[in-house]
Chain A
Amino acid sequence: MCAISRKVTTAMKIRTLRRHVNESFKSLGRNGWMTFASVSAVTVSLVLVGLFLMVMFNLNKIAGDIESDVEVRVYLDQSMTQAQQDALQRDLKEVKNVQSVRFQSKKEGLDSLMESLGNDRQSFSDLKKENPLPNAFILKTNKPEQTIAVAKAVKSLPDVTDVRYGKGTVEKLFRFINIARNVGIILIIGLLFTSVFLIANTIKLTIVARRREIEIMKLVGATNAFVRWPYFIEGLVMGVLGSIIPVVLVMVVYRFAYYNLGGNLQQMFIRLIPYHIMTTNLSLLLVGIGGLIGVWGSMSSVRKFLKI
């Protein structure tokens, strides 16, 4: 009886895929202005997402760098003998979670202080005559968050006058990053939803125009997947098209930032994420988000029309 209808193959046939692609591009062209509006919305959102992520990724990296730089400074009593110092060094090595112990003489301490003062160092040149800095041990912990515990443990050892660790700066930086992140995320979610909404609307228009067609397709036994494919492709294309300008912009802006600002920051011991790593990852991410927005928007529109 059913000589024509054969078994259903799960893999899509090439000519079917070609049909779906044709259908979707035809419809994108037919609704030119709506397509343009949706693509623009995605573009605007992704430009902001891109710039935001560019800054956030770098802030995160910088914070991480600083955090891992956190060290515990153990200042020594000026009257300590060499033997006492050696004993203390051995004791410090025994403290839990201590990774390394380095001795910094009072002279080295002053040199590094002078260096970090930069141009202001002239006004402190008197210090060279009589160095007020004590000798110190510099400890690194296995993990940044162990800093406080190590500092406490060390404080109880004999001959230790003072223990310091860079507490405030890291915490402040993290607080700033958190606020920036929350504000940015709220803004971006709003923008992304707007894009999804616009794409959904565009697709809805094309679906209304082809309502008859869908009805007939369902009537003669087309599967939902078959009906859905062209719209899926349409949404995907709009989303990916919308990510082109943001990707280019991110590349240009980061090139400028990395090669111009990067040098200045390096003097302050701040290293930005390398150009290629940043642009490759961020571009892929933006294209991915674009595609996701497009597909989400279009699929949310199709769903209602499939119940025929």
Chain B
Amino acid sequence: MDDVILMQNVWKAYPNGVMALNGIDLSVKQGEFVYIVGPSGAGKSTFIKMIFRELKPTRGKIFINNKNIANLRDRQVPYFRRKIGVVFQDFRLLPKLTVYENVAFALEVIEEHPRQIKRRVMEVLDLVGLKHKLRSFPDQLSGGEQQRVSIARSICNRPPVLIADEPTGNLDPETSWQIMDVFRRINEQGTTVVMATHNRDIVNKIRHRVLALEGGMIVRDQQEGDYGYED
């Protein structure tokens, strides 16, 4: 089993009765790059939240690194999260911390050794091309730079899986390409990337596997796929 992500018949019903996912079966291999596309309300966010265990499935099994996280106990969740990197549309940086501190924060709260933290933070800031800005505060950075900080933070613990929820949603086209370049580099290092997006140009230009979600079901699973929607 070299599936990094394996979903078996996953269902999700919200307490208000809405069925967000209707029986998802999926396998993602180590080192794959996967786009999740689909209209708003198709279940993309729910799908993403399932992978890092912000939500539990109502039914079905989700294996991440061969471990079923559907029946993970609450107190095991933090340790699981350390193996998953997550990037959001709104960056989620702490405004009062510098670039360096924002990234280091992620390692401090899991009680890494200070010497390791310093080394690793410099490494990932180098990878996203922000080594020269480590003393800047988020509000002194452009949107693209902020997203790169957030990506640096998400990978500083060397997660095998990186999840991105609309990472270019708040960025102009040119900056978006830069972000995609960062993702490419991370992916080339062997990290599996799962990216939910509405960006047609990116999906059509940088070809990867495409999963289209509609009504909580996978309606298309295509290697080197295209975006396929008109929005």
Contacts and interface: CB of A to CB of B under 8 A. Distances in A.
Contacts of B79: 8, 221, 223
Complex A-B, nearest 10 residue pairs according to Cβ-Cβ distance, in ascending order: A221-B82, A222-B109, A221-B81, A220-B106, A223-B78, A221-B78, A217-B109, A221-B110, A16-B111, A4-B116
B107 interface: yes
Contacts of B157: 2, 4-5, 220-221
B141 interface: no
Contact of A216 (B52, B83, B94, B114): B94
Given A221-B79, A223-B75, A4 B107 contact: yes
A218 B116 CA distance: 21
27 contacts: A2-B83, A3-B158, A4-B107, A4-B112, A4-B157, A4-B158, A5-B82, A5-B110, A5-B158, A13-B111, A212-B92, A212-B94, A216-B105, A216-B106, A217-B105, A218-B78, A218-B81, A220-B82, A220-B106, A220-B109, A220-B153, A220-B157, A222-B78, A222-B110, A223-B75, A223-B78, A223-B79
Interface in A75-130: none
Interface string A35-71: 0000000000000000000000000000000000000
A220 B78 CA distance: 8
A219 B86 contact: yes
| Interface size band for A | 20 to 34
Nearest to A213: B94
Contact of A220 (B54, B81, B114, B160): B81
Given A219-B81, A219-B92, A224-B75, 20 more contacts: A2-B158, A4-B107, A4-B112, A5-B82, A5-B157, A15-B114, A16-B111, A212-B92, A216-B92, A218-B78, A219-B86, A220-B81, A220-B109, A220-B110, A220-B153, A221-B109, A221-B110, A221-B157, A222-B109, A226-B111
A277 interface: no
Interface in B143-183: 153-154, 157-158, 160
Contacts of B120: 4
B108 interface: yes
A280 B78 CA distance: 44
Interface in A197-233: 212-213, 215-224, 226
Nearest to B112: A4
A218 B80 CA distance: 11
A19 interface: yes
Contacts of B154: 220
Contacts of A183: none
Nearest to A223: B78
Interface string B82-103: 1100100000101000000000
Nearest to B114: A15
Nearest to A19: B108
Nearest to A3: B158
Contacts of A224: 75, 78
Contacts of B80: 221
A5 B83 CA distance: 10
Contacts of A8: 79
Contacts of B110: 5, 220-222
Nearest to A308: B54
Interface string B102-130: 00011111111010100010000000000
A242 B86 CA distance: 42
Contacts of B111: 13, 16, 226
A186 interface: no
Contacts of A179: none
Contacts of A16: 111
A61 B94 CA distance: 58
Nearest to B95: A212
B198 to A, nearest CB: 22
Nearest to B74: A224
Contacts of B52: 219
A217 to B, nearest CB: 5
Interface in A6-20: 8, 13, 15-16, 19
B49 to A, nearest CB: 11
A1 interface: yes
Contacts of B108: 19
Interface string B55-79: 0000000000000000000010011
Contacts of A222: 78, 109-110
A30 B111 CA distance: 25
A207 B79 CA distance: 23
Nearest to A220: B106
A158 B70 CA distance: 86
Contacts of B158: 1-5
Contacts of A215: 92
Contacts of B54: 308
B192 to A, nearest CB: 12
